[in-house]
Amino acid sequence: MSFGDPNNPYGQPPQQPGQPGYGYPQQPGQPGYGYPSAPPMQPYGGMPGGPAEMPGTVKAARVMLYVLGICQAIGGVAMMAASAWFADYFEDAVSSDPSISTEDADTVASIGAGVMIFFGVIVLGFAVWGILNAAKFSKGRGGVRVSSIVYASIVVLFSVISLLGAYIFALISLILGILIIVFCANKNGGYWFNRPQY
C-alpha cells in the first residue's frame, strides 16, 4: 500500500494541489479546532471575570426592602416613644374604676408600657433584618435571596392579619412583600444571586 492508495484506511487521502480542504492547516486567526472560541456573554452586560449589572427587578426588590425596613424602624421607635403616653392613658382609664387601687393601676400601666416597648424592639429588629438584606444585595449570594424571601413572606403574613383587622395601610406592605418575593424568586433573581463572584 502506498501513501496515496485510496484503499488504505490509515493513509491520507489524495488531494488536489492548490485547493484548501482536508489536511491543509487552518488559516491563522480563524476559529476552529485548536483555537479558542469567543468568551460566553452573560446577560445584562456582564462579562466573565468582570462585574455584572444588577437586573432591574432585583434593584426594585432592594429598594422595596429599604422602604419596608425604614417604615418599620420608624414604627418601632414610635411604639417605644408612645409607651409612656400609653402608660399614662392606661393608668387614667384604670384609675377611674373605684374598685382598682392606685398601686394596681400603676402596675397595669407599667406592664402595658413594657409590652409596648417589647413589641417596639421586635419591630426594630425586624426592620434591621430587612435593611441588612437590602444592603447585602450587591454582593449577596443565595442566602441573602432566601433571607429576603422569608422576610417578605413574614411581611405578607402580618399584612394579611392587619387587613383582617381593617387596617387599610397594611395593603401597601402586602403589595411590597409580594413583589419582593416575586422579584427575588424569578429568573433574574436566580441569575443575580447565583452568579460567579471573582
From the number of C-beta atoms within 10 Å of its C-beta (0-12, 13-18, 19+), residue 116 rates as: buried
Q: CA neighbours within 13 Å on the CB side: how many for 43?
A: 11
The model's pTM: 0.67
Residue pLDDT, tens place only, 7-46? 766 766 555 555 555 555 555 555 555 555 555 555 555 5
* In the chain, where the domains are located: 56-192
SS3 labels along 27-64: CCCCCCCCCCCCCCCCHHHCCCCCCCCCCHHHHHHHHH
Residue pLDDT, tens place only, 133-174? 999 998 878 789 999 999 999 999 999 999 988 788 889 999
Residue pLDDT, tens place only, 50-97? 446 889 999 999 999 999 999 999 999 998 888 888 777 777 766 676
Residue pLDDT, tens place only, 46-55? 545 444 688 9
